[in-house]
Amino acid sequence: MTLSALRGHIVWADAITPLGDTWAATWEALLRGDCASEPWRAASPGYDTVARVAAIPELERGIDEHGNGAGHRLGRRLMDRIGAAGHGACAVFGAANHGDSDLVVALAASLDDPGADVDPALWYGLLADRVPQAFQPLLAGWNSSACSSGLHAVVDALMALRFGAAPFAIAASVDALSPIGVAGFARAGACGSAQSKPFALDRDGLTIGEAAAAVCIGADSAAALAAILGVGMSCDAWHPTEPDPSGDGLAQAILRALEDAGLELGHVAAIVAHGTATKKNDAVEAAVIARLWPARPPAVTSLKHSLGHPMGAAGLINLIAAAQASHSGFLPPVAAHDYAAEPGIDLVNGAARAIGRGAPVLAMASGFGGNNVAALVASETR
């Protein structure tokens, strides 16, 4: 897919994560190499497991009387931020990996009791996903392309700008922890036994997280955090959950983003990788980076040791981090401690690394089904 001339400027960004209630707090924690995780019991009908997760403190769980769960409530908090920042009239292009699947757990529990009346809100929730409704009345589009969803929302917003729909557009993504999601990843063997270690030789799985993030993208560069120089997309469709071991689809997305930006591989100073800490994802991603940059690979980081894997919001948070890294001139470490990494990549761990202000930084995201999205950003402070 060619995305020629998709350009925009990030004029505002915010996020709610396990590391902080604002993007500023999250960024400071990322630079320190902080991490937020805890054991969490995921109880679903017929299955009960404990997995390590990164949870947003004090986020209310469960389904309320209107059929709203934690995902909807997190989305509403994000909408409040969008309005408070003065972007309450902008079209929102939203994304998520899953909806409020706690609703299914609550419904199943209600049906277990033959004498109990089932709350009508639970039945309604099966017909209409409540998470997208958190962004009404501004919602202009919604996608769910697994863990690449957040970066897909950025492409949607850029396309709206290109075709003159509005001078500004919002890309937003939200996913909250759910028992079904945690149990599903645990049963698939994707969850690690301890805090995740992206690209480590001894990694054994991911830490599931949750987050909400949004960026306002405009055509005007005034007071912009960074410019989106180019984007690339691909879908290798290799397997429902596993990446194509050749990495060709991911490489294609990266090269298309560079072509869109009119830059060469050597211009990329740093990469905020998908880096889930699963055996197969990290091996493929590291091999692609080593193949494209055989002599002098860019500095590479992943946020998922610190934040956990925030599912659909992961790619959008990677984009914000890439923009902030270019703006500040510092790339956060994977972790506050060093560990042996996959060969062929220059992994930043132990401490943040200076990359130079205004340097182009690549943000990446991949998702089930073979989805790959890459976006190249650079601050305009240089």
CA angle at 324 for the pair 320 and 327, rounded to the nearest 5° = 140
Q: Which of 30, 84, 382, 89 has the alpha carbon at shortest distance from 224? A: 382
**What burial class does residue 30 get, using C-beta atoms within 10 Å of its C-beta: 0-12 exposed, 13-18 middle, 19+ buried?**
buried
Strand partners, 52: 39
- Identify whether the C-beta of residue 174 lies closer than 8 Å to the C-beta of residue 211: yes
**CA separation, residue 247 to residues 145, 221, 263, 270, 366 (Å):** 18, 34, 21, 19, 11
Q: Which of 1, 3, 8 has the alpha carbon at shortest distance from 319? A: 8
Peptide bond into 39 cis (omega under 30): no
Q: How far apart are the first and last CA of the chain?
A: 31
Which helix (H) or strand (E) is 292 found in, with range? helix 279-292
258: alpha, beta or left? (left if phi > 0; alpha if psi -120 to 50):
alpha
Query: Is residue 35 annotated as a catalytic residue, yes or no?
Result: no
343: alpha, beta or left? (left if phi > 0; alpha if psi -120 to 50):
beta
Structure tokens at 289: 């980076």
Q: How far apart are CA 233 and CA 220, in angstroms?
A: 24
Query: Is residue 235 annotated as a catalytic residue, yes or no?
Result: no
The catalytic position among 72, 87, 98, 274 is: 274
Which helix (H) or strand (E) is 17 found in, with range? none
Structure tokens at 322: 């890439």
Query: Is residue 147 annotated as a catalytic residue, yes or no?
Result: yes
Q: Which residue has the tokens 């091996």?
A: 283
The catalytic position among 87, 90, 98, 147 is: 147
The catalytic position among 72, 87, 152, 309 is: 309
Q: Which of 144, 174, 95, 148 has the alpha carbon at shortest distance from 315? A: 148
Q: Which of 88, 95, 363, 53 has the alpha carbon at shortest distance from 226? A: 363
Active-site annotation, residues: 147, 274, 309
